[in-house]
């Protein structure tokens, strides 16, 4: 910025002296912006859709990760409750049975770090309870 009592020649000279510093700063800033953008994309792509949708967009990757962290530290009980409800209310509607079982198993695994892990036998019963009538022979064969 030009100072109040500065002449045109002094201002031009001062600007010319700082041009190299400004250029280095602009180059470093551009590299940082690209790196930050890549980090944000990686962070967002590795987080589940439900979690990603509940977090507001941020300008920096660090800010975004702090919001993700605060989401889970503040609401771990609520998150655990949501996972448990999801397990108990899950119903197989379409698609393969393998994907359904893996989905329920993955949900149950998310409870383990919160010391709420389910026994495998109980998880199997939850999976069977979530299956429609057409899989009844599968359930009977397993029980035998």
pLDDT in tens, 80-133: 888 889 888 888 877 788 888 888 899 888 888 888 888 888 888 888 888 888
pTM of the model: 0.45
Region for residue 89 given its phi and psi (left: phi exceeds 0; alpha: psi -120 to 50; beta: otherwise): alpha
What totals of helices (H) and strands (E) does the chain contain, helices first?
7, 0
Domain boundaries, the chain: 8-74, 76-143
pLDDT in tens, 47-61: 888 777 778 888 899
Average of per-residue pLDDT across 63-67: 89
The yes-or-no verdict on residue 24 having pLDDT over 90 is yes
- Which letter does DSSP use for residue 110 in this model? T
């Amino acid at each position: 910025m030009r100072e109040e009592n500065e002449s045109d020649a002094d201002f031009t000279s001062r600007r010319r002296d700082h041009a190299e510093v400004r250029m280095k700063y602009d180059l470093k800033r551009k590299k940082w912006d690209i790196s930050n953008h890549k980090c944000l994309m990686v962070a967002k792509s590795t987080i589940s859709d439900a979690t990603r949708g509940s977090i507001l967009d941020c300008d920096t990757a660090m800010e975004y990760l702090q919001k993700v962290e605060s989401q889970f530290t503040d609401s771990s009980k609520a998150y655990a409750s949501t996972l448990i409800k999801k397990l108990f209310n899950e119903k197989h509607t379409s698609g393969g049975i393998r994907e359904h079982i893996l989905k329920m198993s993955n949900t149950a695994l998310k409870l383990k770090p919160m010391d709420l892990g389910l026994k495998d036998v109980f998880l199997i019963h939850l999976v069977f309870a979530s299956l429609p009538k057409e899989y009844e022979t599968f359930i009977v064969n397993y029980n035998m």
